[in-house]
Amino acid sequence: MKRLLRTVCYRCIPPRYLMTKIRDGRAVALTFDDGPHPKYTEPILKVLSEEGVKATFFLVGNEVKKYPDLAKAIAQEGHAIGNHTFSHSHLNGMRFHALSQEIDETTDLIQRTTGVSTRLFRPPYKKVTVPLLWYAFHHRLTIVLWSIDSRDSFEGASPLKMRYEIRSAGPGDILLFHEDYPHTAQAIRSIILDLKTKNLNFVTVGDFLKN
């Protein structure tokens, strides 16, 4: 019942403020959370560059602060950048002031570090709360969720299992990956090639906020 109510609520909110799929009948969007990562971001960027694919990276403020050169590299490669809070804290029960600090501090840090002024936000653990919706409405923020989870953060994840999870991906899907797992960096090329065999294009989530 909770899942049904959540789905109904999501569909009532305009995609300008809450996005679960992209508005494109020919493309998918690859998204990466929790970076930048000192070991795995560069291999992921290398594969994306070699395959001619642009993705969306939802960065954690703490990690941007520690690895600014990697954040800059993501931007310089032409990928879209989103906000994933400063500390990757759970938003359930978080008051509006604390939520604002988490988002604002990260947005400012991303701007100073990469030159990117982002209006994309992904809540940790997919938790969309009333304070977050209020913030999004008043700050023209787009909350970006996903339609398919690669499950790379699950116990026992492997490149083969990730390809299995992505097998149903089709036009309009937003795919979730994480930068901080070795199997993600190992699997991403095969997953891209699998999607290309379906004649799918690759877009960033930010492509749909330019108009």
- What letter represents residue 195's amino acid? L
Joined together, the tokens standing for residue 29 give: 């969007």
Number of helices (H) and strands (E), helices first, in the chain? 8, 9
Can 178 be counted among the known catalytic residues?
Answer: yes
Among 68, 59, 178, 66, CA closest to 107? 59
The residue annotated as part of the active site, out of 37, 79, 84, 178, is 178
Could you confirm whether 90 is annotated as catalytic? no
CA dist 195 to 44, 45, 53, 117, Å?
A: 16, 18, 11, 30
150 within 8 A of 171, measured Cβ to Cβ: no
Catalytic member of 24, 33, 34, 139: 33
Instruction: Classify 18 as helix, strand or coil.
Output: strand
Q: In the chain, what's the furthest Cα-to-Cα distance? A: 47
One-letter amino acid for residue 165 of the chain:
E
Q: For residues 53 and 27, is the Cβ–Cβ distance under 8 A?
A: no
Helix axes 96-114, 68-76, angle to 10 degrees: 70
What tokens were used for 113?
A: 């570090």
The rounded distance, in Å, linking the Cα atoms of 78 and 125 is 26
The residues assigned a catalytic role are: 33, 178
